[in-house]
Amino acid sequence: MKYKPTGNAIGKCLLKSAIALLCMASATSGIVLAASTTNTLPQLTTTMQTVDASALLKRVSIGNKMTINNVELDGEEANFSLNLQRFEVFKTNAVITVHDAKGEQHIKPALSAYYRGSIEGKPESVAVLSADPSGAMRGIVQLKDKFWVLTGGQATGLSASGLSSVEIQQSGLSDNAEAFRCDVDKLPKTLQSSPARLKSNLPVKALQAGQYYQVPVAIETDAEFYSLFNSTDAATAYIGNLFAYASTIYKQEASAELLVGSISLWTNGTSSDPWNHTDTLQGLKDFQDYWKTNKSNEPRAIAHFLSGRDLGGGIAYLGALCDNSWSYGYSANLRGNFSLPNPKPVWDIKVVAHEIGHNFDSGHTHDYQNIGGDSHAVDACYNSNGATGVLPGINSLSGGTAGTGAGTIMSYCHQNSPGMANISLTFGKNHLFGIKAYRVSDVISSYVAQEAANNPSCITTPGTETFALNVNTTGNGSVISNPSGIDCGNDCSESYAKNTQITLTATPGSDSNFSGWGGGACTGIGSCIVTMDAAKSVTASFTLNPVVGTPLTITKAGDGTGKVTSAPTGIDCGSTCEAGYTANASVKLTATPDADSTFVGWTGDCKSTALTAFS
C-alpha cells in the first residue's frame, strides 16, 4: 500500500517513537525531581546538606511541594524530614515605596521563594523556609516549646549549599528578650475598637475545601527600622520572612493568609521620616493620622507599623479589619534578622502576630472571661492589678512549668521567668495549657469570616485551591476518573480541589491489555487512587495482545499519509497494523488517504489500485 503527496503538499509518514525525558541532577547536588508532564514545575526532594537557593527559587511552583531529608536540628539526636509547600507572601502587584534623598521611588519586591509545612510525622510542628535572589536561605522550625533558626547560602556567610541550624529557645533568647508590653489598655475604651464593629453583619458563607481568606496588609516603617539593614533588599527580605511565619500561623488557625501589598521604607536617616513619637500610643495615633491623610485609598485590610525604636512593645485597635480609619497596629523594638547568632526572630514574630491579633478582634488571654462559653480566662499570667501571675497547667489556670511554652501569642506569659521560653507561637488551637485556649483561634477565625462577608472586596476568598491531574497513555486504551473530569483518550487533564481523592480506572482496547501505572503517583495494575495535594501526573501503559489466528500485517509505504481499516475489525492502521483472523477468512481492507495525499495502490497479497481490496 503506497501513498504519495498531491501537488506541492508534503505528506511524509513518520513513525515517532515515544521519548522519555529524564532530568537528573548531578551526583553532588542531592536533588531528585519527580517526573511530571504538567506545565508546573515538579516536586523537589533534597537534603539539608545539599539544598541551595537556586533550587528553591526555580524548581518548585507556587502550590507545589518539596521535601528536605536528613535535617539535623541543633541538640536533637534523631534526624528529621521537612515536608514543605511553596506559597506567596507578597501580592502580585506589591509595591515598595522608598523614601530617599531623591523623593519617592517605587520598586517591586525581589522574587523570593517561601515554603511552609511541618516536620514529617509531627503535625504539631511548624516549619517556614525562604530563599532570595542573593542566594540566602533563612527559616524557622518550631516543635512544641523549641525553636530553631535555619540559615544557608553564601549571602549569609555560609557555603552556597546546605543549611545550618541552631536552637534559639534556650540559647540566649530567654535572657535577652525584652519584657514585651502591649499598650492597648492605654487606649480609652471608646477608642480601643473600630466603630465599624457596631454595623449590621451579613450572612457568613462557609469556606469550601481548600478555600481561605486573603487579608491584604500594608506595611509602614521608620528610619530606625531601615537602619537595622541599610539595604532595601535586606529590609524587604526580612519583612517577607516575618510575614511568612505570621501568615502561616493565621492560615493554620483562622484560614486567613496575610498577603503583603505594600511596604514604605525611609532610607535617608531619622530626620527624613515624619515620625516624632516617643511611645507606642502616640506612634499609633501618628501612624493613623498620617495614613488617613496621605494613604486613605491604599488597598488593605490592615496597616501595620514596624519600628526599630525602643518603645517596649506594641499597640493596636481591636476588631478593625477593613476600616481604613481604624485598621492600624504598631510593633516596636524589632531587632531581628534570620541568622544563626541572633535569636530575635521569635520576639519579632510574637509582637507582630500579637498586635495583628487585636485587629482580628482578640483581646488578651487573661481577659477571656465569659468568651466562648466559659467564665474563666484562658490563663492568669497577668493579674488585673498589673502584677505577674502564674503559668497555666494542662486544662488549668495554674500549675504550669516554666520554659515549656505554656503561654500563647495573645498571652502575657512571657512576663514570667524565663520569658519567651514560656510562649508557643500559636493562638491556642490544639493547645493543652490553660482553659480552652482554642477560644482565641475561634474568635479570630469567626471575626475574619464575618468581615469577609461584610467586605468581600477587602478580604477576598480565592476560588478553591486546585491542582492539575494529567493522565498520559501509551498504547491502545482509555482512562476515566471518579469524580468525573478525566476521559482519556479525549480529555486527559483536569483540575481538582485540594485534597480531593481521585480514582482512575484503565480500560484496554480490544487488541490490548493494561500493563500498569507509572509517573510516580501510582503503581501496579489495579485502580489508581490519587490525593490531590499537589499537581500530579500519571501514565497508563497498554500493550498489544499476542496475535491470535492467521496474522494479517499492513505496511504503509510511500511519502504520503493515510490510514487503513478492516472489516471485520482488527486493523486500524493508524496504530494497529496487525491482527489475527481465522484461516481462509475474507478481510475487506479500506485505504483512506489524508487530504494532502493520494492512494497509489496495494502490493503484496493484494494487488490493486482500488481503495478497497480483499485479502
Question: What DSSP string runs through 271-316?
Answer: TTSS---SSHHHHHHHHHHHHHHH-TTS--SEEEEE--S-SSEEEE
Confidence of residue 79 (pLDDT cuts 50, 70, 90): very high
Grade residue 611 by pLDDT with cuts at 50, 70 and 90.
low
pLDDT band at 115 (very low <50, low <70, confident <90, very high): very high
Closest C-alpha among 183, 135, 195 to residue 281: 183
- If you average pLDDT over every residue of the chain, what do you get? 83
Least confident of 4-13, 246-255, 365-374, 470-479: 4-13
> Which stretch of 233-237, 346-350, 399-403, 434-438 has the lowest confidence by average pLDDT?
346-350
Q: What whole-number distance in Å separates Cα of residue 280 and Cα of residue 262?
A: 22
Going by pLDDT thresholds of 50, 70 and 90, the confidence category of residue 408 is very high
Q: Which domains does the chain have, with CATH numbers?
A: 32-87+111-166 (2.40.128), 364-455 (no CATH), 466-544 (no CATH), 548-614 (no CATH)
DSSP H or E run through 232: helix 232-254
Pair 336, 348: CB distance under 8 Å? yes
In this prediction, residue 34 has a pLDDT band, given cuts at 50, 70 and 90, of: very low
Residue type, 102: K
Give, in degrees to the nearest 5, the angle at Cα 590 between 491 and 593. 70
Calculate the alpha carbon distances from 581 to 383, 554, 574, 584, 608 in Å: 93, 13, 19, 8, 21
331 versus 551: the higher-pLDDT residue is: 331
pLDDT of residue 535: 84
Asked if the model's pLDDT at residue 196 lies above 70, the reply is no
How many CB atoms are closer than 10 A to CB 349?
A: 26
pLDDT value, residue 384: 66
Answer left, alpha or beta for residue 569, where phi above 0 means left and psi between -120 and 50 means alpha. Answer: beta
Four-residue CA torsion sign, 344, 424, 306, 251: positive
What does the pLDDT read at residue 368?
95
Give the pLDDT band of residue 171 (cuts 50, 70, 90).
Answer: very low
Averaged pLDDT, 100-120: 93
Name 155's bridge partners. Answer: none
Question: Is pLDDT above 50 for 16?
Answer: no
Q: Which of residues 446 and 2 earns the better pLDDT score?
A: 446
Give CA–CA dist 69/120, Å, rounded. Answer: 10
The conformation of residue 339, written as its DSSP 8-state character, comes to S
Mean pLDDT calculated for residue range 475-502: 84
pLDDT at 13 over 60: no
- Is residue 15 helix, strand or coil? coil
Distance between CA 335 and CA 200 in Å, rounded?
A: 41
pLDDT at 609: 67
User: How far apart (Å, rounded) are the C-alpha atoms in residues 493 and 386?
Assistant: 62
Q: What does pTM read for this prediction?
A: 0.70
Q: With bands split at pLDDT 50, 70 and 90, how would you rate the model's confidence at 467?
A: confident
Answer whether residue 126 shows pLDDT above 50: yes
Q: Which of 5-9, 75-79, 183-187, 589-593 has the lowest mean pLDDT?
A: 5-9
